[in-house]
Structure 1
Amino acid sequence: MADQSTPRASCEGVPSQQGRGRRPAEGTKSAGSVPDAPTAAEPDRSAPAAGISRRRLLGTAGATGLALGAVGGATGYAAAPSEKATPLTSLGADRAMFHGKHQSGITDALQSRGHVVAFDLAPGAGRKEAAALLRRWSATAERLMAGENAPHDDTAVARDAGPSSLTITFGFGHSFFSRTGLQKQRPSALDPLPAFSSDRLDASRSNGDLWVQIGANDALVAFHALRAIQKDAGSAARVRWQMNGFNRSPGATARPMTARNLMGQVDGTNNPKPEDADFDRRVFVPAKGEPVWMANGSYAVVRRIRMLLDDWEKLALPAQEEVIGRRKSTGAPLSGGTETTEMDLEKAGRDGKLVVPLNAHARITRPDQNGGAAMLRRPFSYHDGNAADGTPDAGLLFICWQADPLRGFVPVQRKLDRGDALSQYIRHEASGLFAVPGGAAKGEYVGQRLLEG
């Protein structure tokens, strides 16, 4: 996914201070502080056998690394790293904030590990049970994102790590509103996505009442969060589907670079940036928008897109580049320049043919070719072994964010359906659309304005 609007798999409250460590002051990032000493009645269940806490262990990793990490995790935007390379030793100290105008996991830089999971409310569970569940989930998310233990029954999987840029994001599916008697509060933007000719969707791995996105720069931290969220669901909800993904680790390259996908293509070149004048308009529901409970929220389209890698890898490099419309090595457009150079759609070669083919993925997905349709892409790659025929079951967990999917994802996908050169090398196998409300204020839980409004 080289270009910012593409939906294809392409180049284009106060918690306890015992446990994993004392929480930093609100609004701060990393902390290497030592937790309060456990009392006899409250043993420090998170401390390693040697008596070193999770946070203290980070402090021994190097004060310089911690200082750098306090900056690196908050800068940048989805699909792009911060301006300075982040030493790997600092990654555990990076922390995202739970409370805020927007939920975390939308504009945060890509993490190296992710889980996306959908839940269905259990038979008989309704609005009351859903509210209690979101309250539990929010309390757990706040603690884990601060590098602390889960509120109860902590598994200690991540006892040696810091927050590691953990983000936990919650959303509601179309079916949630009928299950909870809140049909009148269901936004029109959450209407089911239209069918696309390229879809080969598995209903059992699509949609869902509730959706949770987890991301972190440490696999154990991410798994720890996943287990805590699943355990918190209790008897109120059950897992409908789960998918696991990954990205390149921050600091793995000599300099910050746009991510690559499993086709080897630079993926995310023209993603909208928070500093863009129209960023909020494109990505977030206005503060005075409708419905009121979605103020400062966003809509997430989730697509499991399998890449037919055996077929793709048979293509010679020039053919791959023509399919995408960009150089594989640098992400630069075939019309010349660097990765960020604007693509010249009219440029022809000596043979008179357009340098960027008419069906090139990067051409079709450009916002100016789609009435300005745009979205913020924040994907994960995935690999689930091999299919029954021996081909790799691998590709992209495509996640895009927009203020209105009918103006963001849908028009672009429709155009791709009509003639994208990439379509023969990918397969859309699962899909979901979720309303992700704005961030919770201090003392609130995510979705409270909907469930208690």
Structure 2
Amino acid sequence: MSRRRLLGTAGAAGATGLVIGAAGGATGYAATRDEAPAALTAVGSTEVMFHGKHQPGITTPLQARGHLVAFDLAPGAGRKEAAALMRRWSSAAQRLMAGEPTTGGTGHDTGIALDAGPSSLTITFGFGATFFARTGLTDHRPPGLDALPPFSADHLDAGRSNGDLWVQIGADDALVAFHALRAVQKEAASTATVRWQMDGFNRTPGATAKPLTARNLMGQIDGTGNPKPADSDFDQRVFVPAGGDDAYEWLAGGSYAVVRRIRMLLDDWEKLPVEHQERVIGRRKSDGAPLSGGTETTAMDLDKAGPDGKLLIPDNAHARISSPERNSGAAMLRRPFSYHDGISSDGTPDAGLLFICWQADPLRGFVTVQRKLDRGDALSPFLRHEASGLFAVPGGAAAGEYVGQRLLES
């Protein structure tokens, strides 16, 4: 079986994967070093390349499990130590994404993901605004890292926001993702300490017979309006172009990630009738089609009215306010994970969205759209933004390079 396989094949392999898992689970768990590992399914064998023009984990299809981690450099650690850390992290990421063991700081692989295969693992690295002062690289801090403005739905916890370094881990197997998380944390050693960590999930590839746009914990299809790689302006919207200021050339081929922990007030949301929920969003809950008619991928007709003369997609509907047509063409590539961290002290679910969006310019992408949503989005009363981060994500590493080398060795 080819190690590189489109995720779209996972659905076709799902049925056989279930049989293999049921029959081979016990022997796989008890396997010794002398026994042959169990055969991988299409999901387990899928490998994402580490090296390339862009870092993995940006245009990679949504993965079933994710970990987001921010680190702060330890006192006394500077540019030299940061470069050594990025070299270690890149080396570990390359091996892990290929499904190979990594020794890390312990001298041996933990065996957490033994026999699991690559499982579409991606590891993505970014730099926060504070990273540049702490490494003596202030002149290379791009203006896109200027602080995000405050918004009315913000209830931000500073301890769970921002950070010097950011790592996004995604995989289609929870053990593979955790294995990578442990490796990244161990390689940080004494150079950097964890500032915050958030864990998320999505639907497992192959769980449905045909690929569907992801649903969030409100039950709504989420991501329909994302720019598509086939769009002529996709790269322009998502990736930083080359040929700009020499001080920021290290970011060419990279992107900016805005990360928000958005709590969904699910108890309040679930009290609404489905028809009311659909008017809040502006799309049908069953299939994501706009209320103006058609299928999920049908363009919204923002001027279409019903027999009563009222707009079918209300003025304050989330889909209308966030649409590129209402934001001077502004768009971002949303690639989130859902999260559930148990029950809060008030008895409500601590659950929602680990919102991650990618854009070439945060001011023209996230900030433009969020400002518009902040002024009257019908969905806002059911959301609370509890943490926030903005990170510059360098372009991909060429063979023989580590991520961020063009910055740290400039």
TM-score by length of 1: 0.82
Counterpart of 1:420? 377
Structure 1 runs of 4+ with >4 Å offset: none
Q: Secondary structure at the match of 2:176?
A: helix
283 and 52 in structure 1: CA distance in 2 versus 1, 3 angstrom threshold: farther
- Name the residue aligned to 1:283: 238
Give the structure 1 partner of residue 97 of structure 2: 145
Give the distance between the partners of 1:151 and 1:371, measured in 2 at CA. Answer: 49
Q: Confirm whether residue 57 of structure 1 aligns to residue 14 of structure 2.
A: no
Write the distance in 2 (CA, Å) between the matches of 1:100 and 1:328.
Answer: 38
Matched, 1:136 2:88: yes
> Residue 370 of structure 2 aligns to a residue in which SS?
helix
**Native 8 Å contact 1:301 1:433 kept in 2:** yes
Match of 2:131 in 1: 176
1:57 partner SS? coil
The separation in 1 between residues aligned to 2:268 and 2:258, in whole angstroms, is: 27
Measure, in 1, the Cα distance between the counterparts of 2:55 and 2:31: 32
The match for 1:257 among 209, 212, 216 is 212
Q: 1:112 & 1:189 partners in 2: Cα distance?
A: 30
Equivalent residue for 1:110, pick from 50, 62, 67: 62
Alignment partners' CA distance in 2, 1:176 and 1:117: 15
SS at match of 1:110: coil
Q: Which residue of 2 aligns with 1:247?
A: 202
Secondary structure, in 3 states, of the residue corresponding to 2:290? coil
Residues 106-255 of structure 1 mapped to structure 2, 5 A cutoff: 106-152=58-104, 153=106, 154-255=109-210
Shift of 1:346: 1.1
Equivalent position SS for 2:363:
coil
Q: How far off is 1:90 after superposition?
A: 1.4
Give the secondary structure class of the aligned counterpart of 2:190: coil
Hey, what does 1:348 align to over in structure 2? 305
Give yes or no for the alignment of 1:382 onto 2:382. no
Say if 2:404 is the partner of 1:447.
Answer: yes
**Distance apart, 1:48 and its partner CA:** 4.1
In 2, distance between residues paired with 1:313 and 1:174? 38
CA distance in 2, matches of 1:331, 1:29: 31
Q: Which residue of 1 aligns with 2:4?
A: 29
Query: Structure 1: which amino acid aligns with 2:318?
Result: H
Q: What secondary structure does 1:413 align onto?
A: helix
Matches within 5 A, 1:285-304: 285-290=240-245, 291-304=248-261
Letter in 2 for 1:263: M
Q: How many residues align?
A: 381
Alignment of 1:372 with 2:324, yes or no, is no
Match for residue 4 of structure 1? none
Match of 1:51, SS? coil
Q: Secondary structure at the match of 1:300?
A: strand
Q: Match of 1:231, as an amino acid?
A: K
CA distance in 1, matches of 2:399, 2:163: 28
Q: Distance in 2 between matches of 1:225 and 1:52?
A: 24
* Counterpart residue type for residue 29 of structure 1: R
d(CA) in 2 for partners of 1:352, 1:370: 25
Structure 2 counterpart SS, 1:407: helix
**d(CA) in 2 for partners of 1:402, 1:129:** 29
Contact 1:349–1:355 (CA under 8 A) maintained in structure 2: yes
Aligned to 1:19: none
Amino acid at match of 2:376: G
Deviation at 1:288, TM superposition (A): 2.0
Write the letter of the residue equivalent to 1:424.
P
Looking at structure 1, the residues matched to 211 and 112 of structure 2 have their Cα atoms a distance apart, in angstroms, of 30
The 1:431–1:335 alpha-carbon spacing in structure 2 relative to 1, beyond 3 Å, is: same
**AA in 2 matched with 1:378:** R
Counterpart for residue 20 of structure 1: none
Matches of 1:48 and 1:221, distance apart in 2: 17
CA distance in 2, matches of 1:230, 1:303: 22
Give me the whole-angstrom Cα distance separating, in 1, the residues matched to 2:409 and 2:111: 33
Gaps in structure 1 of 5+ consecutive residues: 1-23, 31-46, 62-88
Q: TM-score, normalised by structure 2?
A: 0.91
The answer as to whether partners of 1:143 and 1:151 remain within 8 angstroms in 2 is: no
Residue 27 of structure 2: aligned partner: none
* Rounded Cα–Cα distance in structure 2 between residues aligned with 1:312 and 1:369: 25
Distance 1:253 1:259 in 2: 11
Please give the per-residue CA displacement for 1:56-85, whole angstroms capped at 9, x wherever unaligned.
Answer: 423xx5xxxxxxxxxxxxxxxxxxxxxxxx
- Alpha-carbon deviation of 1:273? 1.0
Structure 2 distance, partners of 1:219, 1:335, is 39
SS of aligned partner of 1:399: strand
1:411 and 2:368 correspond: yes
Q: Deviations over 1:112-148 (max 9, x none)?
A: 0000000000011110110000000000000000000
1:254 Cα deviation from its structure 2 partner: 1.8
**Aligned residue identity for 1:319:** H
User: How far off is 1:341 after superposition?
Assistant: 0.7
* CA offset digits 1:194-218 (Å, max 9, x no partner): 1111111000000000000000000
* Secondary structure in structure 1 of the residue aligned to 2:369: helix
The whole-number CA distance in structure 2 between the counterparts of 1:210 and 1:162 is: 27
Unaligned runs of 5+ in 2: 6-29
